[in-house]
Amino acid sequence: MTTDAVNAGFMAPGGKSWLREWLFTVDHKRIGMLYLWCITAFFVVGVFLGLLLRLELFWPGRDFIGQQTYNAVFTLHGVIMIFIVVIPSIPAAFGNIFLPLQLGAEDVAFPKLNMFSFWLYVIGGATALASLFSGGGAPDTGWTFYVPFSAVTTTNVSVAVAGVFILGFSSILTGLNFIVTIHRLRAPGLTWTRLTLFAWALYATAWIQVLATPILSITVILIIVERLLGMGIFDPARGGDPILYQHLFWIYSHPAVYIMILPAMGVVSDIIPVFCRKSIFGYKTIVGSSLAIAFAGSLVWAHHMFVSGMSDTAVMVFSFLTFIVAVPSAVKVFNWLSTMYKGSIRLEPPLVFALGFIFLFAMGGITGLVLGSAGTDMHVHDTYFVVGHFHYVIFGGTGFGMFAAIHYWFPKMYGRMYNRRMATTAALILIVGLNGLYFPMYLLGLEGMPRRYYDYLPQFTSLHQLSTYGSWITFAGLALMLYNLIHSRYRGAPVGRNPWKAATLEWTLPSPPPTHNFDTEPVVTHGPYDFSEVRDDDGA
């Protein structure tokens, strides 16, 4: 098949100025694609930095990068992965492309604002990267920018946090846009209980973006003020308090982990019914648990500060609240498993990634309870146990959610199918690789290996080496997956509207969808997981 045999839809090259047409597009699908490509590019950079860290840790002592470089590399790795990759990942890329389609809408509520937030994203990302090459060198504070160190280090922290501020603003505007879109632009008949679970997840996420991100903004503004004007707001000698910084930081950053994970849960909730040909079990419980996570997740921030010198009462309260927030996450896992029970399961790549998500997310979530109970946290705080935990959750969780989304919607976005065997193989390699990479970190942490060190005691060598081998397997999996996707984007077999025979609105459109989405406004008569009306020839 040649390229032009496939309907090009919104991807169709425009006139001469196609670059301008793309960069200043207000079409939500194109904006989503731009995000997807940028995020992928940044992800690749972040992965290389991670591999570099693992390589340095292969032997104890200095192998080839010194401590200052190591500090800069893990800071940059964290900043890129958290603020530029994971937080925007699913909402900004797939949310932009598919939310309006799932709602039967022509676009998001504020298309120009959407373009503006994409540009803020690009500018913010560029600013964060610029901190590498200008001023006093790459920041070395870790992605948390803890004071007092961040207030006094001579490295380029101000520029990096300015980038984070801009990225945060972009995130707020995306969330705001989605909330209004979901409230105002649902097609006739699309009641709240007929909304896809992906849309519901984005809705809950959007509220966290809107309500939590301003606190991050003010926190980073304060760092800048502290550094440039010497305000002393966090300096005890001048009446300030560094613990207040940690509170402000985590009031945003704990909810932020739900910005990272809820959309992935939404993707998985959309995928599982399609590949089990069964309506989702407990639709309303899943919706309720998304909202409950968004709400309860805002109350637990101080579990990052058990050893910072809070009062014992505060430690107990936050420990208790942390346990409560685990409940709605577990509820979702039960719902997914119950949906699969007695379903007619087709083990296609999106489902394989979704199952990988459930497994890896559970591995990370359970250790979250170890960290959430103050007693055990005292022991493993700031060790590799934490590093293992959050990687299982964000790489195994959000990362796999992202991969599942790519494999689920790829045929819709490009009108072509990838090699399914290769996709499944990549998924399995990744699951093996991730366990190899991060499970040893749990053991290292339990044995007392602290995080953020470029050197370690000789007795940790074998576990560190195991982890580094794991990083290579992970890399192989990522490379295979990317190769498959990029190759198939040009050479894959063309597909019709609905290769998975799903029942949500985006699959009623041609693949790729036309610029104006729906010719006539769709009227919705049934829920998103009612497959009785999906016809067999829809796939063609």
According to CB under 8 A, which one of 47, 179, 204, 315 is a site residue for another protein? Answer: 179
Between helix 242-276 and helix 197-229 the angle, nearest 10°, is 160
Ranges within 489-518 binding another protein (CB under 8 A) = 516
Q: Is the dihedral of CA 137, 140, 146, 148 positive or negative?
A: negative
Q: How far apart are CA 168 and CA 404, in angstroms?
A: 25
Phi, psi (degrees; rounded to nearest 5) at 189: 90, -15
Ranges within 138-157 binding ligand HEM (CB under 6 A) = 142-143
Whose CA is closest to 421, among 429, 431, 433, 409?
A: 429
356 binds, among another protein, ligand HEM, Cu ion, none (CB under 5 to 8 A by kind): none
Q: What mask, x for binding ligand HEM by CB under 6 A, covers residues 414 to 453?
A: -----------------------x-------------xx-
The alpha carbon torsion through 401, 402, 406, 407 (nearest 10 deg) reads: -30
Closest residue to ligand HEM in the complex (CB): 50
According to CB under 6 A, which one of 78, 88, 273, 411 is a site residue for ligand HEM? Answer: 78
Whose CA is closest to 392, among 350, 355, 357, 427?
A: 357
391 lies in the binding site for ligand HEM (CB under 6 A): yes
Q: How far apart are CA 289 and CA 275, in angstroms?
A: 22
State the nearest-atom distance from the C-beta of 77 to ligand HEM, in Å.
5
Q: Which stretch binds ligand HEM (CB under 6 A): 163-171, 279-287, 389-397, 413-421?
A: 389-397
54 lies in the binding site for ligand HEM (CB under 6 A): yes
Ranges within 238-257 binding Cu ion (CB under 5 A) = 254
> Is residue 522 left, alpha or beta, with left meaning phi > 0 and alpha meaning psi from -120 to 50?
beta
Closest residue to Cu ion in the complex (CB): 254
171 or 367: CB nearest another protein: 171
Whose CA is closest to 471, among 428, 430, 433, 432?
A: 433
203 or 475: CB nearest ligand HEM: 475
Alpha helices in 185-311 (DSSP H): 197-229, 242-276, 283-296
> Please, are residues 54 and 438 in contact by the beta-carbon 8 Å criterion?
no
254 binds, among ligand HEM, Cu ion, another protein, none (CB under 5 to 8 A by kind): Cu ion
According to CB under 6 A, which one of 10, 207, 395, 500 is a site residue for ligand HEM? Answer: 395
Sequence-ordered list of residues with C-beta below 8 angstroms from that of 483, at least 6 positions apart, any chain: none
According to CB under 8 A, which one of 6, 90, 157, 215 is a site residue for another protein? Answer: 215
CA atoms lying within 13 Å on the CB side of residue 42: 27
498 lies in the binding site for ligand HEM (CB under 6 A): no
248 lies in the binding site for another protein (CB under 8 A): yes
Task: Using alpha carbons, list the distances in angstroms from residue 520 to 105, 139, 188, 234, 517.
Answer: 10, 52, 12, 58, 9
Q: How far apart are CA 230 and CA 68, in angstroms?
A: 25
Phi, psi (degrees; rounded to nearest 5) at 519: -65, -50
State the nearest-atom distance from the C-beta of 70 to ligand HEM, in Å.
8
Ranges within 448-477 binding ligand HEM (CB under 6 A) = 451-452, 471, 474-475
Judged by the rule CB under 8 A, the positions of this chain that interact with another protein are 106-107, 109-111, 113, 172, 176-177, 179-180, 183-185, 210-211, 213-215, 217-219, 221-222, 225, 229-233, 236-241, 244, 248, 251, 516
Residues near ligand HEM, by CB under 6 A: 47, 50-51, 53-54, 74, 77-78, 81-82, 86, 142-143, 387, 391, 394-395, 398-399, 437, 451-452, 471, 474-475
